[in-house]
Amino acid sequence: MDKIHGLSNKEVEEQIQKGNVNTLPKDNLKSNWKIIADNVFTLFNLYNLIIAIALISVKAYTNVFFFAIIAVNVFIGIIQEIHGKNLVKKLSILNTAKATVIRNGKEKKIDVEEIVLGDTIVLAQGDQIPSDAQIISGEIEVNESLLTGESDLILKSEKDTLLSGSYVVSGKCYAKIEKVGENNFANRIISSAKKQKSNNSELINSMKKVTRFTSFVIIPFGIILFIQAYITRQTDITQSVIATAAALLRNVTKRVSLINFSVLKDVLMEGRRVVNNITSVARIFFIKTIYSILLSVFCILTNMEFPFIPIQITLIDLVIEAYTSFFISFERNEKPIKGTFLKTALTNALPFAIVIMLNIIVLTVLGNGMGIEQNTLTTMMYLLIGFVSILAVQEVCMPFNKVHAFLFSTTAVGFYVATYLFRNLLKLSPLVVEQIGIVVILAIISYVIIFIKRKLCKAP
C-alpha cells in the first residue's frame, strides 16, 4: 500500500474557510420561557381565569378551588416539558472526543470538532467513527446498534461507507471523511429528535377539533345562560354567576400533555400504551363534555337554571376523572391501535352521557310533579351523575385484575364518601327515603341500559 499523506495544512485551512468543519449542530429547542408561555397563555386558561374572576367578584370563594387544580396542572405540565427538553438536549450518539487523522503524512490526535472534509482518519478496535467516511485501505468489523438498533457485526472493507456513531469491533482501516457537522448521519438523527415539530398526530388533531368546537359554543352558551338567569328569571346575581360558571366549566375540555421518552426498541410499544390508554380513559372526560352541552341546551330551552355549582364539578374532576386517568396511564398496553381516537372516544362516551341526560330530564319532570325543591333535585342528579360516571370507570377497568378492582372500588367508595363528608361545602341536601328510592331505581335502570349497551356493542 502506498503511504497515505492525508491533507496538508494549506488544504485543511481551505476547508476551514469554506466552513467544511465537523462542528456540532446547534440545538433548536424551545427556551424555558417559551415553554412557560405555551402552557400558561392558552385559550382555556383564559376562560378559566375569567370564570375565577367572576366567582371572586361575587365572593363565591369556595367555588374557585377548581382554579387551584388548573394552576397545579399547568405547573406540572411546565415541569414535565422542561424536564423532557433537558433529556432531549442531552441526547448524543457521538461520545468520542478525539480522533486520529493523517495530515502532512503524519498521524496526529485532534479534537473531533477539528476534523474537516477530506481528512483521512485512522480507525482501530474500540474507536467510535466520528464522521461519515469511506474506507480507502484496510478492513474492520463495525457495530451500528446505536443507529439501527441491530447489534449484528458488519464487515467493512475498501470503498465501503462508514456511518458516524458506529463502533469498530475489530480490525484497522484508513478512511476518508465524506461528511462533516450537521450532514453526518448521527447528527441528522439527533437534530431530528431535537427539532421543534408541530404535533400532527391523529390524537392531537382530534383534541384540537374538540377544543375548537367547545370554544365555539362556550361563549354564547355562557351569555345566554347568564341573561336567562339574571334577567328572565331575575335570579340573584351571585347565583346567576355561580350557575353560569358551572355550566362553562363543564364545557371546558382539559388539555392533555404527553411527553414520552424511551429507548429505540421500546418506541412502538410505548406509543401503543399511550394511545390505547388515553383512548380508554377519554370516554370519562367526553361524558362530561357531551352531557354538559346537552344540559346547557336543555336549560336554555326550558328556561331552567343550570343545576350545578363549580365545586361539585371539581369533586368529579378529582375523584373520578383525574384519579382514574392517573392509574390507567401507567398500564402496559401493547395491543395494536384500532380505529380513530375521536370516533372511538365519542362512541364510548355517548351512551353514558345520554343516560345522564335522561336521568336529569326524568328528575326534572318528577321534581315539578312532586314539588321537590331544586337543591334536593340537584343532589339527586349529582348522585346519579357520579353513579353513571363510575359505571364508565368500571368499563375502563374491564377485564378486572387486582389493580383494576382496587381502582374501581376506591373510585366508587371515594366519591360517595366525599359527597357525604363534604356535603355542606358541596351544597348537597339530605334526602328522605322516598327520594333515595327514586335515585336507586334510576341507578338500576341506568345500569341495565349500560349493560344492554355493552352486550350489543361487545364493549369494552
Q: Provide the pLDDT confidence category of residue 406 given band limits of 50, 70 and 90.
A: very high
- Specify if 414 maps to a domain: yes
Residues 238, 146 share a domain: no
With 0-12 / 13-18 / 19 or more C-beta atoms within 10 angstroms meaning exposed / middle / buried, residue 257 is: middle
Residues 248, 152 share a domain: no
Where among 155, 181, 207 does a domain terminate?
Answer: 181
Mean pLDDT value across residues 429-454: 95
CATH of the domain at 125: 2.70.150.10
- Specify if 85 maps to a domain: no
Q: Is 235 left (phi over 0), alpha (psi -120 to 50) or beta?
A: beta
pLDDT at position 265 over 60: no
Residues 272, 125 share a domain: no
- Specify if 239 maps to a domain: yes
Residues 295, 209 share a domain: yes
In sign, the C-alpha dihedral spanning 85, 98, 119, 174 is negative
Residues 365, 279 share a domain: yes
Mean pLDDT value across residues 6-32: 85
Bridging pattern class, strands 153-156 and 161-162: unpaired
- Specify if 46 maps to a domain: no
pLDDT of residue 335: 59
pLDDT of residue 380: 97
Residues 377, 244 share a domain: yes
**Residue 189 CB neighbours (<10 A):** 18
How far apart are the C-alpha atoms of 221 and 298, rounded to whole Å?
A: 11
pLDDT of residue 16: 92
Residues 153, 219 share a domain: no
Pick the residue with more confidence: 217 or 16?
Answer: 16
**Chain centre distance of CA 216:** 23
pLDDT of residue 212: 74
pLDDT of residue 438: 96
pLDDT of residue 44: 79
Question: What's the pTM?
Answer: 0.67
Residues 240, 119 share a domain: no
Residues 135, 224 share a domain: no
Residues 276, 163 share a domain: no
pLDDT of residue 115: 92
What range defines the domain where residue 253 resides? 198-457
Torsion angle in degrees (nearest 10) through CA of 69, 74, 80, 86: -150
For residue 197, report the phi and psi dihedrals to the nearest 5 degrees: -120, 145
Residues 278, 235 share a domain: yes
Do residues 101 and 115 touch, judged by C-beta distance below 8 A? yes
pLDDT in tens, 352-391: 999 999 999 999 999 999 999 999 999 999 999 999 999 9
- Specify if 126 maps to a domain: yes
Task: Quote the number of domains for the chain.
Answer: 2
Cα–Cα distances in angstroms (integers) from residue 84 to residues 32, 59, 193, 275, in the given order: 11, 40, 12, 19
**Residue 8 CB neighbours (<10 A):** 12
Q: How many CA atoms lie within 13 A of 215 on its CB side?
A: 12
CATH of the domain at 205: 1.20.1110.10
pLDDT of residue 4: 86
pLDDT at position 215 over 90: no
Which parts of 90-201 fold into alpha helices (H)?
145-148, 185-194
pLDDT in tens, 63-121: 888 888 788 878 877 887 787 777 766 665 566 678 999 999 999 999 988 999 999 99
Mean pLDDT value across residues 147-159: 83
How much of the chain exceeds pLDDT 70, in percent?
A: 84
- Specify if 69 maps to a domain: no
Mean pLDDT of the chain: 83
Do residues 304 and 298 touch, judged by C-beta distance below 8 A? yes
Where among 131, 154, 181 does a domain terminate?
Answer: 181
Annotate 116-139 with b (16+ C-beta within 10 A) or e (fewer): bbbbbbbbeeebbbbbbbebeebe
- Specify if 44 maps to a domain: no
Q: Provide the pLDDT confidence category of residue 272 given band limits of 50, 70 and 90.
A: low
**Chain centre distance of CA 359:** 32
pLDDT at position 460 over 50: no
How far apart are the C-alpha atoms of 181 and 131, rounded to whole Å?
A: 8
Pick the residue with more confidence: 401 or 207?
Answer: 401
Residues 410, 351 share a domain: yes
- Specify if 350 maps to a domain: yes
Classify 343 as helix, strand or coil: helix
pLDDT at position 235 over 70: yes
pLDDT of residue 258: 37
pLDDT of residue 91: 60
pLDDT at position 139 over 70: yes
Mean pLDDT value across residues 425-440: 95
